[in-house]
């Protein structure tokens, strides 16, 4: 599969694929036999999609690389992989918990803003989140 096809299937530009390649986020597919064109496997499409996905969720490209290198590297000791995976898992759980806080703040807001009149002093998104601060300030 050539670069244009990968880019299209992953929903990004060709330049982005080249950029990710330089960053080491996807395989380096030098194939001088094939006229000097890059040739990718379909796994690359999934990798690129995963990168975009993880970016939306607040991971940097470096963190995403860490996530991706958790997989099959035959040289790596399994205990090490497990340890890094656990660290990432903790991060992910923390993100979920904090998003859940925002979620319930928004739900409260929607509950409280039932009427059609002026919003006056209802709509306390920060107030809803302040409780966190108060807990951590005792």
Partner DNA sequence: CTAGTGTCCGTAGCTAGGTACGGAGTCAAG
Partner DNA sequence: CTTGACTCCGTACCTAGCTACGGACACTAG
Contact residues: DNA, CB under 7 A? 2-5, 12-16, 18-19, 30, 34-38, 51, 55, 60-62
Cβ contacts of 68 within 8 Å, gap of 6 or more: 25, 47, 50, 51
Asked if residue 98 binds a second copy (CB under 8 A), the reply is: yes
DSSP-assigned letter for residue 1: -
Asked if residue 13 binds a second copy (CB under 8 A), the reply is: no
Asked if residue 31 binds a second copy (CB under 8 A), the reply is: no
Cβ contacts of 54 within 8 Å, gap of 6 or more: 63, 64, 67
Residues numbered 35-74 forming contacts with a second copy, rule: CB under 8 A: 43, 46-47, 49-50, 53-58, 67-68, 70-74
Contacted entry of DNA, a second copy, none for residue 34, CB cut-off 5 to 8 Å set by kind? DNA
Give CA–CA dist 87/77, Å, rounded: 16
Asked if residue 126 binds a second copy (CB under 8 A), the reply is: yes
Choose the stretch contacting a second copy; rule: CB under 8 A; options: 11-19, 20-28, 29-37, 114-122.
Answer: 114-122
Opening angle at CA 19, ends 17 and 23, nearest 5: 115
């Amino acid at each position: 599969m050539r670069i244009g096809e990968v880019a299209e299937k992953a929903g990004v530009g060709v330049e982005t694929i080249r950029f990710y390649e330089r960053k080491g986020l996807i395989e380096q597919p030098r194939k001088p036999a094939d006229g000097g064109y890059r040739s990718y496997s379909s796994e690359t499409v999934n990798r690129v999609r995963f990168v975009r996905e993880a970016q939306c969720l607040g991971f940097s490209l470096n963190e995403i690389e860490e996530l991706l290198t958790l997989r099959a590297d035959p040289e790596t000791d399994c205990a090490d992989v497990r340890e890094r995976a656990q660290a990432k898992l903790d991060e992910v759980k923390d993100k979920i918990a904090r998003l859940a806080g925002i979620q319930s703040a928004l739900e409260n807001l929607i509950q409280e803003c039932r009427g059609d009149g002026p919003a006056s002093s209802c709509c306390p998104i920060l107030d809803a989140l302040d409780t966190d601060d108060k807990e951590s300030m005792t």
